[in-house]
Structure 1
Amino acid sequence: MPVLRNEIGDVLRDARLTQGKTLRDISSGARVSLGYLSEVERGQKEASSELLASICVALDVPMSAILREVSDRFETAELQTVDVMPSIPDTVPELLGEVRAR
């Protein structure tokens, strides 16, 4: 399952790169340090809703579009998730009873 801060960072980076903008361009527009913005994009820091709003303004992208893309990525991951814990076969309780009986 993806981590929310990683997905938000990836979507923000993708939006920035698509526009051909640098971290410096966005950090200046969002009034956040370049280092902090870089950490947000790499999923090392979790952006507050206020910071996310500022970054979206600097990117000129609605926050709803960013969150929708993040949501779509989560949906894709959920659909690909395989049941990693298969159900226990019905014979296990019987086998446990045999072990105890010995």
Structure 2
Amino acid sequence: MTTLLREVIGDVLRQARLSQGRTLREVSDDARVSLGYLSEVERGRKEASSELLSAICGALEVPLSRVLTDAGETMERRERVAARPVATASGATIDYSTRVVIPQAVSMAVA
């Protein structure tokens, strides 16, 4: 399954908030962002604009560049793991990064 950037950025923001021992309400008040919207961003449900990310980072006193760097490094690790071939019980390997299209079976009527 593909990891979305908005999910990774949300994880990074949540980790920053939790490491500071702050609540969603505190950060949302400081960032002037609704609590519900901040929650959606942290859960990766909403794609935050650059202005919104800047406001949240300002409230957390974390540089936006740090959030983006951490998110990029996390994405790289996840992509590396996803691209790693997996060994099966028979010893064969499955490369999940390879996309294969399997056509639908077509039934043929016999007259």
| Deviations, residues 60-88 of structure 1 (Å, cap 9, x unaligned) | 0000110011000011012112332389x
- Matches of 2:40 and 2:99, distance apart in 1: 37
Task: Note the alpha carbon deviations across 1:11-69, whole angstroms, 9 max, x for none.
Answer: 00000000000001100111010010001001111100000000000000000110011
Distance across 2 between alignment mates of 1:86 and 1:35? 37
Q: TM-score, normalised by structure 2?
A: 0.74
TM-superposed CA distance for 1:8, in Å, is 0.6
Residue of structure 1 in register with 2:10 after alignment: 9
Consecutive unaligned residues in structure 1, runs of 5 or more: 88-102
The aligned counterpart of 2:106 is: none
Is residue 45 from structure 1 mapped to residue 9 from structure 2 by the alignment? Answer: no
Q: 1:86 to 1:37 in 2, by over 3 A?
A: closer
Match of 1:60 in 2: 61
Q: Percent identity?
A: 57
- Number of aligned residues: 87
* 30 and 78 in structure 1: CA distance in 2 versus 1, 3 angstrom threshold: same
Instruction: Normalising by structure 1, report the TM-score.
Output: 0.80
Q: Which consecutive aligned stretches of 4+ in structure 1 deviate over 4 angstroms post-superposition?
A: none
Bigger drift between 13-22 and 78-87 goes to 78-87
* Structure 2: unaligned runs, 5 residues or longer: 84-94, 101-111
How far the C-alpha of 1:3 sits from its partner, in A, is 0.6
RMSD of aligned C-alpha atoms?
1.5
Q: Summarize the alignment of residues 66-77 of structure 1 with structure 2, pairs less than 5 Å apart.
A: 66-77=67-78
Structure 2 CA distance for aligned equivalents of residues 86 and 18 of structure 1: 39
Report the secondary structure of 1:81's partner residue. Answer: helix
